[in-house]
Amino acid sequence: KWIADFIQNLHKKYNFNGNVLVAKKGKIIYQGAKGWADYLHRDSLKINSEFELASITKTFTGTAIMQLVEAGKLGLDDDVKKFYPNFPYEGITVRLLLSHRSGMMNYVYFIDDIWRKEKRNMKKGVTNQEVMQVIADKKPNPYTKPDRVFHYNNSNYMVLGAIIEKVTGQRYSQYMMEHIFKPAGMKNTHVYSTSEYEKVPVDVVGHDRNSFRYSVVQNFLDGPVGDKGIYSTLHDLVLFDNYLKNGRLLTKNSLDSAYKGRNKPVNGHFNYGYGWRMFDGKGMDKVVYHTGWWHGFRHIYVRDLDKDIVVIFLGNLTNGSLLHLDELYKYLKTPIIRKGAYSGSGSLPGSDED
């Protein structure tokens, strides 16, 4: 009841529009769908609506990479050049991509620029392979040298997506379906890339600029996957949590290694591991989480590993409503994920790549 009132207030006062779920020890203690799936067509959200997960996709990409490491198909210290010999940067390994320490530039702005300048097809989604080719041809300046700093950016996980495809000989979408979604019983989870689909077959539309007037049209930048591109539901994300916890997707060793901070902690406890942001302070619960922010979608997926609590907010109206969750965290007695969790992390608040 307290949670229901809290969510209602978030909806009314802060304009939260989206789906919410809170589960404890595998049991759902609250779930709700608030507002519009598609404002233009006045479609309401349903509890099983499928959302573009934006950067929450990175948690799945990280999981897939760790599976391939377990299977001996790649090593964390493998250089990107091993898979893409014409990759123009030296010394970037799988491990550095996973932890956002590669120093790469952000391909999203770079590709956007080239496509506009060269008047390329803006409707047809670009594939990861095409982005890799453009990077090889144009050799854009990196942000910094490898392993210098934590610099959160989508390029790292786009490249990991390309590596998954190269190593397995499958599309990213196929690999995910066979090795993560199906085994975990995630029936409403898919990878939709505009390079494979002219129109993505989901009903939930992203709305931008805190206004329902702006529904975001998908374009060529919704082609690359790994950094984004997975669509899922509240219940399937609970299944993902369960299947990670019960060791059915990865061994305990791999999980421990994914959940270990690989950077200098911010404020003493914010960090990033392999595909997960985390809280890891003395005397506080171990929490792994990820945020997502892309094309009108804004989310947070929180897993308190010590209390076995999962909190999921999937929003399709970008505004600041998810910055007002402190009271909920207090109520659940989990650590409070504040704005500092974003800005201290090297990604810009308000950017498309949370």
Reported as a single tens digit per residue, the pLDDT across 319-334 is 888 989 999 999 999 9
pLDDT given at position 342: 43
Does the structure show a pLDDT above 60 at 346? no
Q: What type of residue sits at position 2?
A: W
Q: Which domains does the chain have, with CATH numbers?
A: 2-343 (3.40.710.10)
Q: What is the pLDDT of residues 70-100, one digit of tens each?
A: 999 999 999 999 999 999 999 999 999 999 9
% of the chain beyond a pLDDT of 90 = 81
Residue 40, classified by CB atoms within 10 Å of its CB into exposed (0-12), middle (13-18) or buried (19+), is exposed
> What gap in Å lies between CA 37 and CA 257, rounded to an integer?
37
Q: What is the mean pLDDT of residues 236-245?
A: 98
What is the pLDDT at residue 265?
A: 84
pLDDT for 282: 79
Helix H or strand E segment including 49: none
User: pLDDT tier at 207 (50, 70, 90 boundaries)?
Assistant: very high
Note the maximum CA span of the chain.
57
Which residue reads 């320490």 in tokens? Answer: 101
> Is the model's pLDDT at 349 over the cut of 70?
no
Q: How many CB atoms lie within 10 A of CB 64?
A: 24
The predicted model scores a pTM of 0.95
Q: How far apart are CA 130 and CA 20, in angstroms?
A: 36
d(CA 16, CA 7): 8
Q: Helix (H, G, I), strand (E, B), or coil: what is residue 71? A: coil
Amino acid present at 149: V
Counting Cβ atoms within 10 Å, is residue 85 exposed (0-12), middle (13-18) or buried (19+)?
A: exposed
Bigger pLDDT: 218 vs 187? 187
Residue 343 has pLDDT above 80, yes or no: no
For residue 347, pLDDT over 70 is answered with no
